[in-house]
Structure 1
Amino acid sequence: MNPENLLAALPERRGLDHLWRSLPDARLVGGCVRDLLCGAPVHDYDLATPEAPEQVMALLDATGIKVVPTGLAHGTVTAVIAGRPYEITTLRRDEETDGRHAVVRWTRDWAEDAARRDFTINAMSLDRNGQVHDYFGGVDDLAARRVRFVGEASRRIAEDALRILRFFRFDARYGGTVPDGEALAAITSDVSRLDALSAERVAGELLRILEGPRVLDVVARMMECGALSRILAAPHLAPRRLERLMATGAPPDAILRLGVLCDAPDTGERLKLSNGVRARLDAMRQPGFLTPDASDDDLRRALATTRLDWLMDGVWIAQADRLGRADPAWDALRARLAAIPHPVFPLSGRDVLEAGGVAGPGVGAVLRVVEAWWMSEGCRPGRVACLIHLENAMAARTV
């Protein structure tokens, strides 16, 4: 897109114009400028400004703009206009970095602020007149589908090792077929720096990589430079299995792709994922996945004991492992599975007691007998039929 037309391409200008009346020297920065240049949708507006954060808050407050001090230590406040947030950060320079955190000082030098950003395509800014300010060749790099670190790659990585993973994520989306050689060399040399990152930060970037474009290319490059084996259990990595999953047409689900790429039992713990995600990954490692020859009774039995979304995971994995390509029979299986109402065993312990049972462990035992029969019948018998079977089961034993 022609830089002169960038502001005209913004879907909503009133909020920005309001901000620029209060902060005329502020500029749009980072990802929103990059996405405007390549014609991609812009979802978030991030701005930078030479004024110190306290001055920013005073100027916005004076014009009636709601402002929230969301990160004063880092020079960041958030303006809210018509319910939409605009993150505004004071220009900064790094005084000290330890690979994870930085001590910053305010500056009024735009080039100095841009120099602390990760990649050239993320270091551009756009002022209220529609002029793009590009200190490191980001416009040319974006046009050439080239993702480069700002300045020396090894120095950028030393400042924050998460940039290793960010490189792969951005290269997948904005890069070409051949990645930047200096970047890959620096990553390969400094890949051990990933060990010092928190699991939460690593997981956040890894999942964004797995749900993004060109996943197989990215995974291959991450394996070649040793990055993937630093964050996942190397003996359990199966890129070929991930390739087979993607060949089936499975959805771009980061957790599904993660579970197929690495079936190590400690993946969820290693990445500090939520308990719900860990349970889902555990379910992916269980045997006995459904296949197209399953009857409706088989599907009901599966639904009675397992969540639908976990069963869908299992069907995609089984299709990948057994077939490794798209197939209408497997699509039909998923459609059948989604269409069947979730079966619920119609009895409870109260039914046993009302039928003359005695409170205690025997109640659960007789319920399990009836439920096993219900499951064997494909979860089809209703409450009346189950009550009759309960009476028969109780007659056969003392409850």
Structure 2
Amino acid sequence: MTQNSGLLERLPDRTGLDRIWSVLPDARLVGGSVRDLLAGVAVHDLDLATPEPPDDVQRRLEEAGIRVIPTGLAHGTVTALLDNAPYEITTLRRDEETDGRHAIVAWTQDWTEDAARRDFTINAMSLDRHDRLHDYFGGREDLQNHRVRFVGDASRRIAEDALRALRFFRFDARYGHCVPDREACQAVSEQLGLIGTLSAERVASELLRILSGPRLNETIGAMASVGLLQVLLPEPDQHALNRLLACEAPVSSLLRLFALCHRNSPELAGRLKLSNADGAKIDAWASAQPVLHPELSDDDLRRLRVLQDLDLLVERSWLLQARLVGAPDIAWGRFRERVQAMPQPAFPLTGKDAIAHGVQPGPGLGQWLKTGRDWWMAHGCLPDRSACLAYLARQK
């Protein structure tokens, strides 16, 4: 179905888009940009498709003085840069062969054929330079009805790329309403065996996007009901996640992942191949040290600031509040205010001070500093340089 839309008027600036259309007049906006223009939400990326083969696209753009980056020529994609803004332009494609992870594609000039290989009807629409909306599978109606459904046969779409099983729940959380599409859920349940063919990195990326999205309680529950959650994460603790959400903690996909998987936290980073930094955070969250409590004294808070990074302290406080209270809590809120307002203490002595006071380089120097630092921390991290030196002088 083709219809005039008035959608281009919603773009705050279409200068770059018009320049591309002056070179590639048959190109169209596709996918998320069209969906979000219809939904009335912010559009972040303007992706286009075009019937011309990628080499021809690159040549035309360069001849027009537009910088081009061949970001994915094997898949028919180049990126045009205009005023530092990227525009991905992909040649129309059809799938020749798929294995659940990768697809072998061929170029086509058939817009319907290209739309048919996309995942969901709301992502299969296109918009041409005349502001005409091309909707081959009822995406506009589905968007209006808050319904996310696969293009064509849901089971086949998942067989083409198993990651679509996760993507379905991410898009349903944002654009759906209440009850996920029955055919889609059935297809996900039937194709759970394909999840194991996906790389851990792809799974982690999609899962973290789900965990940072809206309607998370409903989404995680729906994923569990079809068996997907249990395949992704052994022994997920939905109750612990719900308690964290009930505390109204700031959105953090990694913190939510930890709450959901705290029973298996030692294996979590390796299972999903998370970064070393994320793995270190998970290890810190799993530790009971240093001890946190909302009624700690100012001296204790200063010691905490020395022993652990401020962000980790705040994140651990949310996890403890979720476990111990499971609801908004004035005491834990006040704890965070106090610890965040506390200036970062710094031990006032260095190795130069030790040498200046006759301590020889070597193990003795380290012990001298440790003795002073232990005394400084025992006194609430308040003694200044002179007081610390005076204490150490008395230990000789």
- TM-score interval (norm. to shorter): over 0.9
Instruction: Quote the offset at 1:78 in angstroms.
Output: 0.8
The residue that corresponds to 2:253 in the other structure is 254
Could you tell me how far apart the structure 2 residues matched to 1:9 and 1:228 are? 38
Write the letter of the residue equivalent to 1:134: D
CA-to-aligned-CA distance 1:325-351 (integer Å, 9 cap, x gap)? 112322221111111111122223332
4+ runs of 1 displaced by more than 4 Å? none
Query: For residue 354 of structure 2, what is the aligned residue in structure 1?
Result: 352
CA offsets per residue over residues 223-242 of structure 1, 9 Å max, x none?
2222222222x23x221111
Which residue of structure 2 aligns with residue 180 of structure 1? 181
**1:299-318 equivalent positions in 2, closer than 5 A:** 299-318=301-320
Cα pair 1:92 1:106 within 8 Å, conserved:
yes
Distance in 1 (CA, whole Å) between partners of 2:311 and 2:245 is 18
Shift of 1:290: 2.1
Equivalent position of 2:97 in the other structure = 96
How far did 1:4 drift? 2.0
| Aligned twin of 2:80 | 79
Q: Is 1:352–1:390's contact at 8 Å kept on the other side of the alignment?
A: no
The match for 2:267 is: 266
Residue of structure 2 in register with 1:58 after alignment: 59
CA deviations 1:76-133 (Å, max 9, x no partner) are 0111111111100000001011111111100000000011111111011011111111
One-letter code aligned to 2:314: M
Residue range with higher mean Cα deviation, 383-392 or 153-162: 383-392
Q: How does 1:376-395 map to 2 (within 5 A)?
A: 376-393=378-395, 395=396
For the aligned residue pairs, the C-alpha RMSD in angstroms reads: 1.3
Aligned to 2:374: 372
SS in 1 for 2:245: helix
* Aligned-partner residue type, residue 206 of structure 1: L
For residues 241-283 of structure 1, give each alpha carbon's deviation from its aligned partner in whole angstroms, at most 9, with x where no partner exists. Answer: 1111111110111111111111121111111111111111111
Q: Is the 8 A contact 1:76 1:87 kept in 2?
A: yes
Structure 1 residue identity aligned to 2:307? T
Query: Partners of 2:394 and 2:181 in 1: how far apart?
Result: 74
1:326 aligned residue: 328
Q: State TM-score, norm by structure 2.
A: 0.96
2: CA distance, partners of 1:338 / 1:111: 55
Q: Which runs of 5+ in 1 are unaligned?
A: none
CA distance in 1, matches of 2:359, 2:101: 63
Secondary structure of 2:47's aligned partner: strand
C-alpha separation between the residues in 2 aligned to 1:4 and 1:110?
18
Output the CA distance in 2 between the equivalents of 1:135 and 1:296. 64
For residue 362 of structure 1, report the CA deviation from its aligned partner. 2.5
Equivalent of 1:343 in 333, 342, 345: 345
1:109 aligns with: 110
> Within 2, Cα distance between the matches of 1:262 and 1:342?
32
Q: Residue 206 of structure 1 corresponds to which residue in structure 2?
A: 207
Distance across 2 between alignment mates of 1:392 and 1:156: 76
Q: Distance in 2 between matches of 1:208 and 1:261?
A: 15
Cα deviations across residues 189-240 of structure 1 (Å, max 9, x unaligned)? 11121111111111100110001101111111222222222222x23x2211
Q: Kindly provide the amino acid, as one letter, of the partner of residue 381 in structure 1.
A: P
Opposite residue 378 of structure 1, the aligned amino acid is: G
Structure 2, unmatched stretches of 5+, are none
2:154 counterpart letter in structure 1: A
Q: Which residue of 2 aligns with 1:133?
A: 134
Distance 2:281 2:4 in 1: 46
Q: CA deviation at 1:3?
A: 5.9
Distance 1:37 1:352 in 2: 68
Answer whether contact 1:125 1:134 (CA < 8 A) is retained.
Answer: yes
The aligned length equals: 391
Per-residue CA distance 1:300-326 (angstroms, 9 max, x = gap): 111101110000001111111111111
Letter in 2 for 1:198: S
Partner in structure 2 of residue 297 of structure 1: 299
Structure 1 residue 368: Cα displacement: 1.9
Give the partner amino acid of 2:206. E
Indicate the SS of the match to 1:105: strand
What does residue 244 of structure 1 align with? 243
Please tell me the residue identity of whatever aligns with 1:285. Answer: A
Q: Which amino acid aligns with 2:249?
A: A
> Do the aligned residues in 2 keep the contact of 1:3 with 1:37 (CA within 8 Å)?
no
Mapping for residues 117-196 of structure 1, pairs under 5 Å: 117-196=118-197
Verify the 8 A CA contact 1:48 1:89 in the aligned structure 2.
yes
CA distance in 1, matches of 2:4, 2:164: 27
Tell me the residue number matched to 2:50: 49
Deviation at 1:371, TM superposition (A): 1.4
For 2:189 and 2:219, the matched residues in 1 are separated by 14
Q: Matched residues in 2 for 1:113 and 1:320: separation?
A: 47
1:155 counterpart letter in structure 2: R
Letter in 1 for 2:48: L
Q: Distance in 2 between matches of 1:3 and 1:229?
A: 45
Query: How far 1:299 moved relative to its partner?
Result: 1.0
Distance (Å, rounded) in 2 between the aligned partners of 1:198 and 1:296: 47
TM-score by length of 1: 0.95
Distance 1:102 1:193 in 2: 15
Once the 2 structures are TM-superposed, how far is the Cα of residue 359 of structure 1 from its aligned partner?
2.5
Instruction: Indicate the SS of the match to 1:325.
Output: coil
